[in-house]
Amino acid sequence: MITVRNDPWVLDCIAAVLEQEVPFHFEVHVADNSSDDQTPELLRTAYGRHPRVHLSKTVGNLSQSWNAAAQATKATILVRVDADAIPVPGWLMALTRPLIERRSDWSAGPAGGAKSQASLVARYFEARTEAYSRRLASEPELRDAVPSWNVAYQRSALDLAGWYDPWQASSVDWDLHKRLRRAGLKGMFVPDARVLHRHPATIRELARREAWYRTGHYQMFLKYGLREMIPALVVPGAYALVILLALLGIAWPVFWWLGLILVVALSVKHMIEGLREQDPLWPLRAVFRPLEGVAGLFGFARGLFRYGIRRRPLPSRITSPFGDEKRNDRRRTS
């Protein structure tokens, strides 16, 4: 399943998916989510008559688009890959093997940056992402916070835990994966199931992405409570304290010095974390993590303004329109 909006890169993604060599039949479903550029025309021209590519139009946000397109198929295993990701050879077999063999209910693979991305920001994001992938690969089970750029689900798992929540502005993956874990379903990280993904290449893109993520994290606070979501608050909270100390320092200089000490301590902490994760660009964490922290504060503030403080119930379970028929065809993949 590929959901796309205004992104011609999807043509390269589809081509790479179709080149996958696997011993089972699979189809590619591409849901155009209200594109208003040349993407729909490019898709029709390139794949409008392809026997294994199915094009559709959807409305609503990304979650609604993906849910609608996925539920309209009869596939028992659903693979999601971003429109701007390029799977490497062997990706599909590696990603789906644990599900086909019933060793897991969902799986995920790493998303490395395209080598053509040469900006400092892109290299930083790539190094940080690879470090996180190494942490995932060292653990027996998949963490719920793994991004959904490159994942596969048993359809029955989605029916049990609920699909993507359209209410979520962002972090729909973390929300879904938390519910999968709460339902007792097992995830597995597959290092060989790699895709190349476009990472943010400018400071503005990095800050916008971090703020976007944190708005979704605020929504998750309303669902799961502070105790469960406290890890998402650590970095933005630390820099919120830095800002507070700086403001207090206007009247009482001692607070300014306390703020400076905290900034130095945080910078050392970020670099140590990078060294522990074998990040070759670990010094850059002292530069970019403060930026991410401040952008995260903006994202939380936006979430508070938009969604208030009222608790939000978790999504109810959503049943596939095809009922139990899906469980009888374990070899059909989308």
pLDDT at 321: 39
Residues 234, 138: one domain? no
Number of domains in the chain: 2
What are the beta bridge partners of residue 87? 195
Rounded Cα distance between 300 and 314, Å, is: 20
pLDDT tens sequence across 217-275: 999 999 999 888 998 889 999 999 999 999 999 999 999 999 999 999 999 999 999 99
Residues 253, 271: one domain? yes
Residues 63, 173: one domain? yes
Q: How do beta strands 195-197 and 111-113 pair?
A: parallel
DSSP string, 167-234: T-SS-HHHHHHHHHHHTT--EEE-TT--EEEPPP-SHHHHHHHHHHHHHHHHHHHHHH-HHHHGGGGH
Tell whether 262 is covered by a domain. Answer: yes
Residue whose C-alpha is closest to residue 232's, from 314, 296, 312, 294: 296
42 near 8, Cβ under 8 Å?
Answer: yes
Tell whether 322 is covered by a domain. Answer: no
Residues 153, 234: one domain? no
Boundary of a domain, candidates 184, 201, 218? 201
Residues 12, 157: one domain? yes
Tell whether 93 is covered by a domain. Answer: yes
Tell whether 7 is covered by a domain. Answer: yes
Instruction: State how far the alpha carbon of 7 is from the alpha carbons of 43, 102, 119, 297, in Å.
Output: 10, 34, 21, 29
H helices of 48-171, in order, are: 62-71, 91-100, 120-137, 155-161
Residues 33, 123: one domain? yes
Boundary of a domain, candidates 138, 172, 201? 201
pLDDT at 317: 59
Q: What is the mean pLDDT of residues 54-82?
A: 89
Q: Is 27 left (phi over 0), alpha (psi -120 to 50) or beta?
A: beta
Residue 326 has pLDDT above 50, yes or no: no
Q: What is the mean pLDDT of residues 58-64?
A: 84
Rounded Cα distance between 30 and 208, Å, is: 26
Rounded Cα distance between 1 and 334, Å, is: 6
Boundary of a domain, candidates 201, 232, 251? 201
> What percent of the chain has a predicted confidence (pLDDT) above 70?
93
Tell whether 323 is covered by a domain. Answer: no
Residue 328 has pLDDT above 60, yes or no: no
Residues 196, 76: one domain? yes
Residue 331 has pLDDT above 60, yes or no: no
pLDDT at 115: 57
Tell whether 278 is covered by a domain. Answer: yes
Domain residues for 93? 2-201
Contacts 24+ apart (CB under 8 A), 312-315: 312/167, 312/219, 312/222, 312/223, 313/223, 314/162, 314/179, 314/223, 315/162, 315/163, 315/165, 315/167, 315/179
State the CATH number of the domain containing residue 83: 3.90.550.10
Residues 130, 220: one domain? no
**Structure-token match 């940056």, residue found:** 113
pLDDT at 148: 73
Residues 97, 9: one domain? yes
Q: What is the mean pLDDT of residues 75-104?
A: 94
Tell whether 320 is covered by a domain. Answer: no
63 band by pLDDT with thresholds 50, 70 and 90: confident
Residue whose C-alpha is closest to residue 150's, from 180, 191, 201, 186: 191
238: Cβ–Cβ under 8 A, 6 or more apart, which residues? 262, 266, 293
pLDDT at 112: 81
Residues 195, 222: one domain? no
pLDDT tens sequence across 173-209: 899 999 999 999 999 999 999 999 888 889 999 999 9
Residues 195, 248: one domain? no
pLDDT tens sequence across 107-141: 999 888 765 557 889 889 888 888 888 888 887 67
Q: What is the mean pLDDT of residues 4-10?
A: 90
Tell whether 288 is covered by a domain. Answer: yes
Residues 162, 266: one domain? no
Rounded Cα distance between 271 and 278, Å, is: 11
pLDDT at 99: 96
